[in-house]
A = this chain, B = another copy of it.
Amino acid sequence: YKKDDSFGNRGMSFEDDINETNDYYLAHEFAVIHKKPTPLQIVNVHYPKRSAAVVTEAYFQKPSTTDYNGLYNGYYIDFEAKETKNKTSFPLKNFHDHQLTHMERVVKHSGIAFILLHFAYHGEVYFLPAEYLLRFCETMERKSIPKVEIEEHGILVKTGYMPRIDYLKAVDTYLATRNK
């Protein structure tokens, strides 16, 4: 893995990078994958004359699913993106129960569910299949996944300029192994 300097430290968040990657995939007709809007409970809306409606009171809701889903080559794709500053492990408190339940359902209905993990310190992104994450959460009492385990069971994602986080290549690698 040769670290590409065009990725990281550009004042962009991991989420921005994924969104740009999805825009790239969309423009090049590789996939149709979007981030879901942030779920808000709208309590008050003001309708001024001659201008747009304004939401004046709303509260953030816990998402019941993951942040990204879409379609790639006939496959249903579903993932969550998370990052950590930890050097040697990924804390599991980052995942809510309902997100794990959702990923379990996706796997059961023959979709492709995974997480993209950004180790900010190392500038590395890993694709980790939901099957592995779910098995780890079930059987382990540890509160985090060691990075060495992620390196072994995940797939390192190529990062760069265009696309920034080329996770579909990792999906291909995953499918090649799974369908064997």
Contacts and interface: CB of A to CB of B under 8 A. Distances in A.
B109 A32 contact: yes
A52 to B, nearest CB: 6
A60 B40 CA distance: 12
A141 interface: no
Nearest to A78: B71
This chain: how many copies in the complex? Answer: 2
A110 B55 contact: no
Contact of A37 (B31, B38, B74, B78): B38
Contact of A26 (B40, B69, B72, B105): B105
A7 interface: no
Contacts of A78: 71
A11 to B, nearest CB: 20
A106 interface: yes
Interface of A: 26, 29, 31-32, 34, 36-40, 42, 52-61, 64-65, 69-76, 78, 102, 105-106, 108-111
